[in-house]
Amino acid sequence: MNLICLDDDPRMEPALRRFAVRLGHAVRFHTAAASFKTDVQARSPDLIVLDLELGQENGIDIIHWLAQAQTRAPLILLSGHGDDLLDTARRIARASGIEVLGVVSKGRIVRDLPPLLARGRCESAPAVPVPVPVPVPTPTQAAGAQLLTVGDLARCIREDRIEPYFQPIVEPGDGRLRGAEVLARLRLPSGRVLGPAAFIPLAESAGLLMALSESLFAGVLRLKPQLMPLKLGFLSVNLSAAALDHDRAIALVRGLLAGLQDCCRLAVEMTETAAMADSPPARDLTARISLLGASLSMDDFGTGYSSIRALTELPFDTLKIDLSFVSEMFDSAKAQTVLRAIVTLGHSLGLKVVAEGVETEAQRRFLIETGADLAQGFLFGRPMDIAALTRAYGPAVVEARVGLPA
């Protein structure tokens, strides 16, 4: 395949050629941006290796130029400036729609570059047809395509079409089910199920969010006979304080707590932006929820402002690390440091720490090492209806697991 490299240091050329040619790549090496650009436009490369320090120009300008030129080739970034700069450049490229296969610090070329060049070869030139996974739209994406009017939504709420889905929250070490987050879904008359992106923002702007939550929570209570055998420690529900009638919200939480009394504890998840520390209504609402006996979880921690202040000033018991931190944990050493620090911060404040968005075994192992208390994510289960939750985590499964030899 066709590889084009831009590096103002000609001493890089022999090393690059040695690795690339061995892998069957045709290499064109440029030390000047002008000839590199002409070549990229003339040949549509399959892979680009780009040094970030270029003397006259810099690699970031080249990244922007590649994006503007709508180059489809993935990038491998090189730099002698260390991991932080490489990580920032990777984000810049990704934000411009350019795929980055990997980044290589110049001191580690021999070790790190060949595997990336080999990956480039597999990904861009499949000699044998490879089965392409059909992308399954996430509920959020699927929902985005659907246009719902306020009238439709109000009718759906009246007709009890808001359904609770449950996403497992587990012990990261042994995967044991500890609780579940209730996530709203809307079932259309056609049977199609929409994710919250299709209706939560609409409900919020149309003043229907409380009615929606009432309908959802009533649905949860109707499922109590199926929830009981799961022996959940807790169920958590989402409340958006932004569009909230506080008295109605308190009544809602009180009703849910009473209904679930002999079943499990209740946690209320709020986002930090909704529960800003210095907002008297937020203080009032969170205190009232706590006093009722529900635990209080700060959702999406790390994505907004004033989060640390809200943690210290409002009665949160749990911190949920936003899934973006988990998904980026292997992008850089810094991301891992931040993740560890969040867990430590949470624990120092006496909070339980839940990591959201755990999709891989490697992420799970890293989280165990950080000491995160609980984990949630596709690795353990997507949001699912009660029948699926029972199939995955019900007594039959638990008994079968216990019966297995250690």
**Which of the choices ligand C2E, Ca ion, none does residue 240 contact, using the CB cut-off of 5 to 8 A by kind?**
ligand C2E
Task: State the residue for tokens 């045709």.
Answer: 26
Task: Provide the β-strand partners of residue 269.
Answer: 238, 297
Q: Closer to ligand C2E at the Cβ: 121 or 178?
A: 178
Rounded CA-CA distance 75/94 in Å is: 10
Residues of this chain that interact with ligand C2E (CB under 6 A) are 139-140, 167, 183-184, 195-196, 200, 213, 216, 238-240, 269, 299-300, 323, 356-359, 376-378, 383
**Which of the choices Ca ion, ligand C2E, none does residue 38 contact, using the CB cut-off of 5 to 8 A by kind?**
none
What lies within 8 Å, CB to CB, of 136 at 6+ separation is none
Instruction: Give min distance, CB of 316 to ligand C2E, in A.
Output: 15
Q: Closer to ligand C2E at the Cβ: 77 or 183?
A: 183
**Which of the choices Ca ion, ligand C2E, none does residue 195 contact, using the CB cut-off of 5 to 8 A by kind?**
ligand C2E
Q: Closer to ligand C2E at the Cβ: 7 or 269?
A: 269
Q: What is the DSSP letter of 106?
A: G
Nearest to 252 by CA among 283, 290, 305, 215: 215
Residues of this chain that interact with Ca ion (CB under 5 A) are 238, 269, 299-300, 356
Instruction: Give min distance, CB of 322 to Ca ion, in A.
Output: 6
- Coil, strand or helix: which one is 386? helix
Instruction: Give min distance, CB of 25 to ligand C2E, in A.
Output: 33
Rounded CA-CA distance 317/266 in Å is: 12
Instruction: Give min distance, CB of 82 to ligand C2E, in A.
Output: 30
**Which of the choices Ca ion, ligand C2E, none does residue 183 contact, using the CB cut-off of 5 to 8 A by kind?**
ligand C2E
**Which of the choices ligand C2E, Ca ion, none does residue 261 contact, using the CB cut-off of 5 to 8 A by kind?**
none
Instruction: Give min distance, CB of 166 to Ca ion, in A.
Output: 12
Instruction: Give min distance, CB of 227 to ligand C2E, in A.
Output: 16
Q: Closer to ligand C2E at the Cβ: 49 or 252?
A: 252
Q: What is the DSSP letter of 133?
A: P
Rounded CA-CA distance 240/244 in Å is: 7
**Which of the choices Ca ion, ligand C2E, none does residue 20 contact, using the CB cut-off of 5 to 8 A by kind?**
none
DSSP 167-208: EEEE-TTT--EEEEEEEEEEE-TTS-EE-GGGTHHHHHHTT-
φ/ψ region of 209 (left if φ > 0, alpha if ψ in -120 to 50, else beta) reads alpha
Instruction: Give min distance, CB of 54 to ligand C2E, in A.
Output: 36
Q: Closer to Ca ion at the Cβ: 87 or 300?
A: 300
Q: How many CA atoms does the CB half-sphere of 327 hold within 13 Å?
A: 7
Describe the crossing of helices 59-68 and 83-95 by its angle, rounded to 10 degrees: 20
**Which of the choices Ca ion, ligand C2E, none does residue 277 contact, using the CB cut-off of 5 to 8 A by kind?**
none
Q: Is 230 exposed, middle or buried (0-12, 13-18, 19+ CB in 10 A)?
A: buried
Instruction: Give min distance, CB of 335 to ligand C2E, in A.
Output: 16
Residue number of the CB atom closest to ligand C2E: 377
Give CA separation, 405 vs 177, 400, 401, 402, in Å: 20, 10, 9, 8
